[in-house]
Amino acid sequence: MYKIRRRFFILGTNILFAILFAIVTIFLLPEGSFFPAFLIALIVFIVFQVITSNISTNQVKLLYRRALETKETGLISEFVKKLRFSYSVDDLMESVEVVLEDKGDCSVLYIDRSTHYVIYNSPDRLTTSEETMRVLSLNYGNAWPNGYYFIDEHFGITSNRQKTRGFFLVHEDMHFYVFCRYTRLFEPIIFPQLYNEFIRFQQRAKTISGLSEIAELSKEWSLLAETQKSFLPQVMPDIPKLDVAAYFRPLVNVSGDYYTVLPMDENKTLVMLGDVSGKGLAAALVMGLVMNVVKIIENKEDLAQIVRSIDEAIKGMKLQDKYTVLFIGIIDTKEMVIRYINASMSDPIVVTQTPSGYKIKPLTSNCSLIGILDLDEVVVAEQKLYKGDLVLMASDGVSEVMNEDGIELGDTDLYL
């Protein structure tokens, strides 16, 4: 298992470090006074420590990835990835059928305990049995605590890995049971990931379902607009060496514009501005989808992968003629650069003060529309920044504002 292999690897690395340190210092230490010998030993120790630490960190990450990609655990990892881009019960069931049932030969039971309604069950004897439902209802009622649990062949909770024949996830009233005869072979480290993704799925499905119900049943567009605004930052984060401000005013109640500012660490901040084609419910759904994809992706350094994930998610919704333009970048206040991808967005600009006056540098488009066309190679561009620079991003709603004569702002000398 991963934890055992990790412990042995770290132990072996430390032993090897100690042996090499002892050998090297024996040959390098000069004879004579204490201070030079101590100084050389300290330098050797620091160098060895840095090298060993880097090697150990990289190898532990490699062990972790390999643990998640083993034949058995790889099945759950694949399901987690599909769950990450599931936005409805139909999406979830498709992932269950493709991965857990077809590839893993597992049985699944998905129940809403508040109503005792079976949302989904695999078409086999175990999950369609009334006895199975009766025992599970007796053992795990709607007051069962949130979390993930392992069950034995009698559907009781077990902590003995060798006796596990399945597991289940609980979030509020939703119970998700997976019966699998080789559950004992799954790496334990995969289950927190699976559970967290299950929670995010519940939240996404609830949000999108709420948007649909509001639009289709009540027609309360103002409420839909408020729900949509909840996706956007309510306040700008306080970021060292970076002042951030935003202004959002939709032309109609439900807009396709969106933006976010996400601090990544003390030096790097992710910024994004985008615009979905059209207005109304469909645009709001795509906008919420894009914001969610960016939020849940773990490696936000990989801008190209973020753009590809957004593209895949929008295409997966199968909405007619829906796409987005967007600008996404990482501002690095340590390296003083902005790395970005501009997917057909109105050019953001960098305003730099020079001895001869202000200079405007456009961050031009380097990617096609997202969600409707096949993406070629996604290239990340880079622009140098200087202290006091202003990075200005605006959707086409700004440049298309008309005066009383019907002339758009973007066609006048007032627009930069």
* Domain residue spans of the chain: 2-68, 81-180+187-204, 235-411
User: To 10 degrees, what angle do helices 221-229 and 280-296 make?
Assistant: 20
| 414: pLDDT strictly greater than 60 | no
At residue 357, the 3 state secondary structure works out as strand
Distance separating alpha carbons of residues 270 and 201, to the nearest angstrom:
24
- Helix H segments across 179-260? 190-213, 221-229
Which architecture characterizes domain 81-180+187-204 according to CATH? 2-Layer Sandwich (3.30)
Q: pTM of this prediction?
A: 0.56
Q: Could you report the per-residue pLDDT of 110-131, keeping only the tens digit for each?
A: 999 999 899 999 999 999 999 9
Please report which confidence band the pLDDT of residue 17 belongs to, taking 50, 70 and 90 as the band edges: low
Distance separating alpha carbons of residues 133 and 129, to the nearest angstrom:
7
How crowded is residue 183: how many other Cβ atoms within 10 Å of its Cβ? Answer: 21
Q: Could you report the per-residue pLDDT of 190-207, keeping only the tens digit for each?
A: 899 999 999 999 988 887
At residue 322, what are phi and psi to the nearest 5 degrees? Answer: -105, 130
Distance separating alpha carbons of residues 175 and 119, to the nearest angstrom:
10
At residue 230, what are phi and psi to the nearest 5 degrees? Answer: -65, -20
Residue 66: predicted pLDDT: 61
Which architecture characterizes domain 235-411 according to CATH? 4-Layer Sandwich (3.60)
Minimal CA–CA distance to 250: which of 263, 242, 259, 260?
A: 259
- The residue among 278 and 79 whose pLDDT is bigger is 79
- The residue among 376 and 51 whose pLDDT is bigger is 376
Distance separating alpha carbons of residues 92 and 82, to the nearest angstrom:
8
Distance separating alpha carbons of residues 326 and 175, to the nearest angstrom:
38
| 300: pLDDT strictly greater than 70 | yes
Q: Could you report the per-residue pLDDT of 335-359, keeping only the tens digit for each?
A: 999 999 999 998 899 999 988 988 9
User: To 10 degrees, what angle do helices 221-229 and 190-213 make?
Assistant: 150
At residue 2, what are phi and psi to the nearest 5 degrees? Answer: -60, -50
Mean pLDDT of 153-166: 92
Please report which confidence band the pLDDT of residue 7 belongs to, taking 50, 70 and 90 as the band edges: low
User: To 10 degrees, what angle do helices 2-28 and 34-68 make?
Assistant: 160
| 49: pLDDT strictly greater than 80 | no
Amino acid at 34: F
- Most confident residue range from 15-19, 30-34, 217-221: 15-19
Q: Could you report the per-residue pLDDT of 357-369, keeping only the tens digit for each?
A: 889 999 999 999 9
